[in-house]
Amino acid sequence: MQRRELIKLLGLGTIAAGIGNKAFSATNKKVKGPLVLSTWYNQSVTANLAAWKILEAKGTALDAVEAGVQVSENDWGNCCVGLGANPDREGHVTLDASIMNHRYEIGAVAALERIKSPIHTARLVMEKTPHVMLVGLGAQEFAVSQGAALEKEVLSDHAQKSYDEWLKKSEYQPIMNIEKQGGPHMPDPMESGEFNHDTIGMIAMDAEGNLSGACTTSGMGFKMRGRLGDSPIIGAGLYVDNEVGAATATGHGEEVIRICGSFLVVELMRQGHSPEQACKKAVERSKAKTPRDR
Ligand code: SD4
List, for residues 80-120, the tens digit of each pLDDT value. 999 999 999 999 999 999 999 999 999 999 999 999 999 99
The strand pair at 245-248 and 238-241 is best described as antiparallel
Q: Quick one: pLDDT band at residue 156, thresholds 50, 70, 90?
A: very high
Residue of minimum CA distance from atom 7 in ligand 1: 198
Residue of minimum CA distance from atom 2 in ligand 1: 253
Coil, strand or helix at 85: coil
Beta strands in 105-249 (DSSP E): 106-112, 133-135, 200-205, 211-217, 238-241, 245-248
Residue 180 has pLDDT above 90, yes or no: no
7 lines ligand 1 (CB under 6 A): no
- Residue 17 in any domain: the answer is yes
199 lines ligand 1 (CB under 6 A): yes
The reply to whether 250 belongs to the active site is no
- Residue 22 in any domain: the answer is yes
The β-bridge partners of 106 are: 100
Give percent above pLDDT 90 in the chain: 71
245 lines ligand 1 (CB under 6 A): no
User: Could you give the CA distance from residue 265 to residue 248 in angstroms, rounded to a whole number?
Assistant: 9
Q: Which residue among 216, 238, 252 has the greatest number of ligand 1 atoms within 8 angstroms of its CB, and so is best to mutate?
A: 252
**Pair 282, 268: CB distance under 8 Å:** yes
Ligand 1 atom with the shortest distance to the CA of 254: 10
Q: Which residue among 218, 231, 258 has the greatest number of ligand 1 atoms within 8 angstroms of its CB, and so is best to mutate?
A: 231
- Residue 179 in any domain: the answer is no
**Can you give the pLDDT at residue 170?**
82
The boundaries of the domain holding residue 245 are 3-171+184-289
User: Could you give the CA distance from residue 107 to residue 121 in angstroms, rounded to a whole number?
Assistant: 8
Looking at the 3D structure of the chain, how many domains does it have?
A: 1
Burial of 283 (0-12, 13-18, 19+ CB in 10 A): middle
CATH number at residue 251: 3.60.20.30
Q: Quick one: pLDDT band at residue 137, thresholds 50, 70, 90?
A: very high
- Residue 220 in any domain: the answer is yes
Ligand 1 atom with the shortest distance to the CA of 197: 9
217 lines ligand 1 (CB under 6 A): yes
Which of 186, 166, 188 is closest to 86 using CA atoms?
A: 166
Could you tell me the pTM of the whole model?
Answer: 0.85
- Residue 133 in any domain: the answer is yes
Residue of minimum CA distance from atom 8 in ligand 1: 250
Ligand 1 atom with the shortest distance to the CA of 253: 10
- Residue 178 in any domain: the answer is no
221 lines ligand 1 (CB under 6 A): no
Average pLDDT over residues 221-226: 93
**Cα 198 to middle of ligand 1, angstroms:** 6
The β-bridge partners of 134 are: 109
The answer, yes or no, to whether the previous bond of 275 is cis (omega within 30 of 0) is no
**Pair 112, 184: CB distance under 8 Å:** no
Which of 242, 238, 239, 235 is closest to 205 using CA atoms?
A: 242
Residue 15 has pLDDT above 80, yes or no: no
- Residue 177 in any domain: the answer is no
- Residue 141 in any domain: the answer is yes
User: Could you give the CA distance from residue 10 to residue 15 in angstroms, rounded to a whole number?
Assistant: 10
